[in-house]
Structure formats: structure tokens, C-alpha cells
Amino acid sequence: MKNIVILISGRGSNMKALLSAELGCNIKAVISNKSDASGLAFARAQGIPTAILAHRDYPDRESFDAALSRLIDGYEPDFVILAGFMRILTADFVMHYAGRLINIHPSLLPAYTGLHTHARALADGVKIHGCTVHFVTPDLDHGPIIIQAAVAVLQNDTEALLAERVLQEEHRIYAQAIRGLCAGTITLGDEGKVINHNLPLPGQALISPSLPA
């Protein structure tokens, strides 16, 4: 059975969804760079070991990332899962976990990399928005895409309303992605493209606004 380590910085809502799902793997630890991250208490209540490594205790990103990788490697993970870990990771750290470092991003990548994705989507007037689970590479938010979920952007949407609907899909597809990775039904091919060995039949297209009958 595969081992995973989860990194958080705050409440860890995606972490909570993962801990509540049947992932088919061993969750070896939840690690945070902040001692007051509320998600740590939830993990402990589920019997998951936790650890804190404060980034402010290190003079630069390189030294923090080196210490973080030593801490993570002590748990011998097959995959490292970023679940609201609010740190930009160095290229050395990312390459150390090449093909094993997973993130979820609140947009349909490659659109809207970086921050404030929901506000930018609303400002642009897009009609379909969503979230993406992807492998992490040194090129921020551009790693191979594992799975995506789309939601319709509604006429009266605010940033908060849209974010909440997207978050519901994040909770659903992150667990699905990790489950597939741990089961070996999702793999990263030699050409850097994700292979789904258990690809479901395509469903209906999401059209927003919906077409008249």
C-alpha cells in the first residue's frame, strides 16, 4: 500500500476531505509550516501523526525546503500532497519529488495560474470555471494535469459564491486523483503526460449558460 504525506498551512479543508475519504493508502503524516494551522487538530483527532516546521525559523527558502524534505523523507512517502500549503517551493525541492508531488489549483489550468483565480475569472466574464489536480513542476501551476472539474459561472456569482462551489469540486476530485495514483490506475507517462488506465466513458458536456431546449 502506498504512503502519502500531506502539507498544509491553514484549516486544510482539502486535507479534511482526503482524511474522510477511502483513499486506499497510508497517510503517514500531516505537516504544516504554521503552528496555529487549525487543520493539525483535525488530523490528530483522526489519529494521524502531525509535525510542524516553521518557515520563519529559517533564513531563506532554500534552507527551509531542505529541512522540509528531510522531515518528509523520514516518513518514506510515495506521494507528497499539497493541500493549501501556502509556500512557493524551490526548484530543488520540486525536482527531489519529481513525479510524486501533487497539488490542487482553483482554476481550469492552464488558465488563471497564481492567485485570485475566482476574481479574475469573474472579471473576464468566463462562463465555465473550475479546479485542477496536477503534478508539481518548477514551472508554477503548469505541471501535468491529472483531473479537472468544471462548474458553471452563474449570473449573480460573487467571488465567495464561486469559490465555494469550486471548493466542493476540489474535495471530490482530489480524493479521486489520490485514490487513482495510489491504486496505480493513474500514472505519469514517459512523455510527461498523465495516463488514466481506468478512463470512464465521457459524460455530458457542461454548457453555460445552458442552451435552449
The catalytic residues are 105
d(CA 135, CA 76): 19
Q: What is the DSSP letter of 154?
A: P
C-alpha cell at 150: 468544471
In CATH terms, the superfamily for domain 3-196 is Formyl transferase, N-terminal domain (3.40.50.170)
**Under a CB-based contact definition with an 8 Å cutoff, are residues 25 and 182 in contact?**
yes
Q: 110-131: string of b/e by CB count within 10 Å (b at 16+)?
A: ebbeeeebbebbbeeebeebbb
Distance linking the first and last C-alpha atoms of the chain: 49
Q: Helix 117-124 vs helix 159-183: angle between axes, to the nearest 10 degrees?
A: 120
pLDDT confidence of residue 203: 60
C-alpha cell at 172: 471530490
| Bond from prior residue into 110 cis (ω within 30 degrees of 0) | yes
C-alpha cell at 58: 529559517
| Bond from prior residue into 200 cis (ω within 30 degrees of 0) | no
**Under a CB-based contact definition with an 8 Å cutoff, are residues 121 and 162 in contact?**
yes
> For the chain, which ranges sit under pLDDT 50?
none
User: From residue 119, how far is each of 87, 111, 112, 126, 209 by CA, in Å?
Assistant: 21, 13, 10, 11, 19
pLDDT confidence of residue 209: 78
pLDDT confidence of residue 208: 78
C-alpha cell at 6: 500531506
pTM of the model: 0.94
The length of the chain in residues reads 213
pLDDT confidence of residue 212: 66
